[in-house]
Structure 1
Amino acid sequence: MNELTRAYDLIGDIHGHAGKMEALLLAMGYMPSGRGYKAPEGRMAVFLGDLIDRGPQQLRVLEIARAMVESGDALSIMGNHEFNAIGYLTVHPKSPEGECYRPNRGSSAKCLKNRAQHAAFLEQVGEGSTQHHEWVRWFRSLPPFLDLGGLRAVHGCWDDEAVALLKQAGWMPGSVLSDELLAAAYEPSGRVRWARELLTCGLELPLSEGRYIVDKAGHRHDNVRVANWRHWAEEFHQLALVPKGQEEQLRGMEWPAELVISAIEGSPIFVGHHWFTGHPLIESPKLACLDWSAAADGPLVAYRWDGEQELSNNKLFWVRESRHAD
């Protein structure tokens, strides 16, 4: 069966909640097989990244995802949390202190923040263990995007220029993130870094002076994520992806001069990353965000794609309860 005729079940951010993951797979007809699950005939799962951090069963999530990838029952892309895990463990070759690409060995505010964000994963995997190193090696094999012909999948947001740039650099499906590419992905103001951040984290823009956003962890930010796929927006606050209750802080903010958006053309796009809340809905006939805060109290959401070029809400599928208690 070729890629254009295969049906896919795209699954949003799991963040270590294996109970919800297994409940969703079972509800969609996937059957336990070895360490993972066997896909229904003609279907394949696609994990949209952020398998780790936060949840209580991160090793089980990784075991299932990797087993399914290796058996041909799933594909997986890299989320920003998998990329951060690589940087957290890998020593920066130019650091005189032996610090990692993602600083965590000192006592600075940045180091403390990075350790706190990654603490649950480190506790469960065993920081510095053989198992820790092995999972980070596997993370390097996860591509930052997938173009499956009839659909496109990325963690943060799709951008044709960023995809082309990473392809040219040699970072694409079927390749492994090399040391050289990792260095380029952390190079300040580098093009590979720009592309990686855009694809795994989405578009972020600075806020007007005096405006700020407080994230779910209580950290203050002077930039904001932007839903640059909302081509119908007339005011900037309609694009801003902010925690619930902070929308009014952006009302009346001028449209950034550098921001140009247009309708999505070509195959539909699936993203995660953005912590949507409420009742799951597609964003448009050409884009669906499948992160509906499963790491908190939200559902784990999938889209059951069968070749359609216009998405619809009746193809969304989700579970709210775990197969077993977390």
Structure 2
Amino acid sequence: MTAYDIIGDIHGHADKLKDLLRSLGYQRVGDGYQHANRHAVFVGDFVDRGPAIGEVIKIARATVEAGDGFAVMGNHEYNAIAFHTKVPGTSGNSDKWFREHSDKNRKQHQATLTQLSPRELSDAIAWFRTLPVTLELDGIRVEHAAWRDNQIAAIQQSLASRGRFSTDFLAESEQVGSELHAAIEDVLKGPELKLPSGLSITDKAGHIRDTVRVKWYEPPTCQTYRDFHFGSDDVPNVTIDDTMTQGMTGYPADAPPVFVGHYWLTGTPTPLAPNVACTDYSVAKGGKLVAYRWDGEPVLSADKYRWTS
């Protein structure tokens, strides 16, 4: 059985990535890193925010292409593909893109736009299109935000029939209300639950929201919005109406260990459940770049986390 080091969201912090890989016993080989008997696994979100986005992409891509690691797509890679893919039939002043070039979206993507040349950006987007949404490796699962069997199957079927993040794929995945749009939102960005009528929260970015991101790995029965919410916003302590959570059953206790990123956690890393671990501990906000060292254990443990800060 191969041993894996599952590495959280990097967001352009190449120095932290190199420090972490060296501390885990990896050696530089060309542009990538190699370990004698382990493989690195990246959970996505290589771009945006950090100071060395191009170098992060170069390291991760070289490591994967040399067979020394694996990577899944993060929501920031998906967003980048959509941001840089024109809607067919538009041109000139009427250009439209699958991800709108709004001030909000451009601001989120600005560090990548600033740091990468047009050629580097085009090359990166081409690589992002090749990334899998999920991985199953020797008894573990890896994806960016949430493991949802039916939605993962829908994404895989659409990729196979429409092409890997092609214009046909994006036309459906960006259509609000479509099955594929819901699947991308949940698997890459995390399931959300609508708050009762008249209630809202202000998120960390100052945006007013009437939905909350939820602990998809737990069953919602008899929980309140505050207990079931994934984060630290001021969420109402109101019991969830069961009719709002149909299809949410949690991640089975007997399912393979699954590793995610995405959630901007803080504090001392620890598993979310016996078979669920998050490796995103907010490196882009002054936190830690975290890895989980998996050696075949079916029950995950806090003492298997490593990090650099």
TM-score (norm 2): 0.92
Instruction: List aligned pairs for 1:295-306, cutoff 5 A.
Output: 295-306=284-295
The whole-number CA distance in structure 2 between the counterparts of 1:76 and 1:238 is 31
The whole-number CA distance in structure 2 between the counterparts of 1:288 and 1:67 is 26
Asked whether the equivalents of residues 292 and 300 of structure 1 are also in contact (C-alpha less than 8 Å), the reply is: yes
Describe the SS at the equivalent of 1:170.
Answer: helix
Instruction: List aligned pairs for 1:1-326, cutoff 5 A.
Output: 5-38=1-34, 40-95=35-90, 97-104=94-101, 111-126=102-117, 129-171=118-160, 176-231=164-219, 234-236=222-224, 237-242=226-231, 244=232, 246-247=233-234, 249-259=235-245, 260-264=248-252, 265-320=254-309
Which moves more between the two structures, 47-56 or 258-267? 258-267
CA shift at 1:121, angstroms? 0.8
The alignment covers a number of residue pairs equal to 302
CA shift at 1:314, angstroms? 1.2
CA shift at 1:64, angstroms? 0.4
Q: Which residue identity does 1:215 align to in structure 2? A: D
**Alignment RMSD (CA, Å):** 1.9
Asked whether the equivalents of residues 2 and 138 of structure 2 are also in contact (C-alpha less than 8 Å), the reply is: no
Describe the SS at the equivalent of 2:283.
Answer: coil
CA shift at 1:23, angstroms? 0.8
Q: Which residue identity does 1:132 align to in structure 2? A: L
Deviations 1:232-269 (A, max 9, x none): 87422112023x3x34x321253452313245232111
Q: Which residue identity does 2:307 align to in structure 1? A: W
What is the percentage of aligned positions where both structures have the same residue?
40
CA shift at 1:143, angstroms? 1.0
Deviations 1:26-65 (A, max 9, x none): 0000011111211x22211110011111111111111100
CA shift at 1:169, angstroms? 2.3
The whole-number CA distance in structure 2 between the counterparts of 1:89 and 1:23 is 32
The whole-number CA distance in structure 1 between the counterparts of 2:14 and 2:105 is 24
Asked whether the equivalents of residues 233 and 239 of structure 1 are also in contact (C-alpha less than 8 Å), the reply is: no
Deviations 1:165-210 (A, max 9, x none): 22222359xx843332222221232222221211101101111233
Q: Which residue identity does 2:296 align to in structure 1? A: G
Describe the SS at the equivalent of 1:161.
Answer: helix
Asked whether the equivalents of residues 81 and 125 of structure 2 are also in contact (C-alpha less than 8 Å), the reply is: yes
The whole-number CA distance in structure 2 between the counterparts of 1:82 and 1:258 is 30
Asked whether the equivalents of residues 78 and 143 of structure 1 are also in contact (C-alpha less than 8 Å), the reply is: yes
Asked whether the equivalents of residues 12 and 300 of structure 1 are also in contact (C-alpha less than 8 Å), the reply is: yes
1:263–1:34 Cα change, 3 Å: closer
Q: Which residue identity does 2:257 align to in structure 1? A: P
**Which consecutive residues of structure 2, in runs of 5 or more, have no partner in the other structure?**
none
The whole-number CA distance in structure 2 between the counterparts of 1:317 and 1:233 is 34
Asked whether the equivalents of residues 208 and 253 of structure 1 are also in contact (C-alpha less than 8 Å), the reply is: no
The whole-number CA distance in structure 2 between the counterparts of 1:233 and 1:64 is 43
Q: Which residue identity does 1:179 align to in structure 2? A: T
Q: Which residue identity does 1:257 align to in structure 2? A: T
TM-score (norm 1): 0.87
CA shift at 1:222, angstroms? 1.5
Q: Which residue identity does 1:88 align to in structure 2? A: F
Q: Which residue identity does 2:31 align to in structure 1? A: R
The whole-number CA distance in structure 2 between the counterparts of 1:154 and 1:299 is 20
